[in-house]
Amino acid sequence: MRRVKYQLFTYQQDAVARTGIAVGDRWFDLETAARRAQQSSIAEASIDELLQHWDDSCLVLARLALQLADDPQPFGRCELKPADLQLLAPLARPGAIYGAGANYRDHVEAMARVSGAKLALDPKKEGIPPWHFLKAGRSTLSGHRADVPIPARTERLDWEAELAVVIGRRASAVSVENALDHVAGYMCANDLSARDYLVRAGVDASSPFRFDWIGHKCFNGSCPLGPVFTPAEFVASPENLAIKLWLNGELRQDSDTSNHLYGVADQIAYLSERVALEPGDVILTGTPAGVGMESGTFLKRGDVMQVWIEGLGELETRIV
């Protein structure tokens, strides 16, 4: 069967979250389109639910996408106007959200210059494994064009454009060579970070209370995702994607995922050694150079960011 690229999205209509499918520049409501195409097994499914049976879901979605591409006319009543949609984060109930720290070569080099710290510029070569933190789930999510409030007592709110990886097949102790077989798809992400919460002033450096990763990374809306979910089959390689972030129209981050210190496969293999990755889990794979901390520039109310990743779309977030 000929494969036609499609992307999935979640939107809100009359206070209800609905699933959509985009084929080319045409966007459709999934439920009505699936019923019209006699593919009712996916008609009422959210993206979260599709991920739980991703292999089966892919087959049905592929058939529907082909019908929508080849003969869209019968689906006219299912079509949506993208500009009129209130998009939500594609996932409503993600599993674990893992975040990779210090994973872009250019970012590590820039942070080393700013901080004066001796940071390993090639930790993989030195035999140092990757490291990750966790972001809380549903409460941290926000979608395309969402307003995210500045968290209380935060003056150093920062941006981090990232490639988000979504697991579609259970991964337990998988090899680097097989790791990408467990990926369902990809999204744009912005790992918003409250820098002033990372290190607690006045607390001894040896104290376990010195660092506050929850305060740093977890607050309402701190994990914008979207605008769409792109299945992995339509991304030739996650290690060759241009990634950019604009702040109020000014380009601040401009890099490529080829600058990953640990690739997506490396991260999946490492994480799955300790804990099984389940369908719906998300990995934020690190951010490139150009974050606000490097220049001492931080977000304020009214600021607007756009994260763009090649082939995945553009995710917009406003700070309020």
Give the CATH number for residue 53: 2.30.30.230
Dihedral of alpha carbons 293, 295, 301, 305, sign? negative
Query: Is residue 23 situated within a structural domain?
Result: yes
- Are residues 81 and 146 part of one domain? no
- Are residues 146 and 288 part of one domain? yes
Looking at residue 114, its pLDDT comes to 77
- Are residues 48 and 69 part of one domain? yes
When divided into structural domains, the chain yields a total of 2
Q: What is the pLDDT of residues 180-227, one digit of tens each?
A: 999 999 999 999 999 998 888 899 989 989 988 888 999 999 999 999
* H-helix segments, 85-235: 105-115, 213-217
Query: Is residue 186 situated within a structural domain?
Result: yes
Q: State how far the Cα of 312 lies from the Cα of 92, in Å rounded to an integer.
A: 19
Looking at residue 160, its pLDDT comes to 98
Query: Is residue 33 situated within a structural domain?
Result: yes
- Are residues 185 and 63 part of one domain? no
- Ranges of residues in the chain with a pLDDT under 50 are none
Q: State how far the Cα of 70 lies from the Cα of 73, in Å rounded to an integer.
A: 9
Q: How far is CA 96 from the centre of its chain?
A: 13
Query: Is residue 200 situated within a structural domain?
Result: yes
Q: Are 186 and 114 in contact (CB under 8 A)?
A: no
Looking at residue 109, its pLDDT comes to 84
Looking at residue 120, its pLDDT comes to 77
Q: What is the pLDDT of residues 21-31, one digit of tens each?
A: 999 999 999 99
Looking at residue 112, its pLDDT comes to 75
45 — phi, psi (to 5°)?
-85, 140
Looking at residue 198, its pLDDT comes to 84
- Are residues 184 and 74 part of one domain? no
CATH code of residue 140? 3.90.850.10
Domain that holds residue 20: 7-88
Query: Is residue 81 situated within a structural domain?
Result: yes
Last residue of a domain, one of 88, 122, 145: 88
Last residue of a domain, one of 88, 113, 129: 88
Looking at residue 38, its pLDDT comes to 96
Query: Is residue 266 situated within a structural domain?
Result: yes
pTM here is 0.97
Query: Is residue 2 situated within a structural domain?
Result: no
Query: Is residue 1 situated within a structural domain?
Result: no
Looking at residue 166, its pLDDT comes to 99
- Are residues 46 and 165 part of one domain? no
- Are residues 223 and 82 part of one domain? no
- Are residues 154 and 27 part of one domain? no
- Are residues 103 and 74 part of one domain? no
- Are residues 222 and 102 part of one domain? yes
- Are residues 225 and 289 part of one domain? yes
Dihedral of alpha carbons 16, 17, 19, 23, sign? positive
Q: Is 268 helix (H, G, I), strand (E, B) or coil?
A: helix
Last residue of a domain, one of 35, 69, 88: 88
- Are residues 16 and 140 part of one domain? no
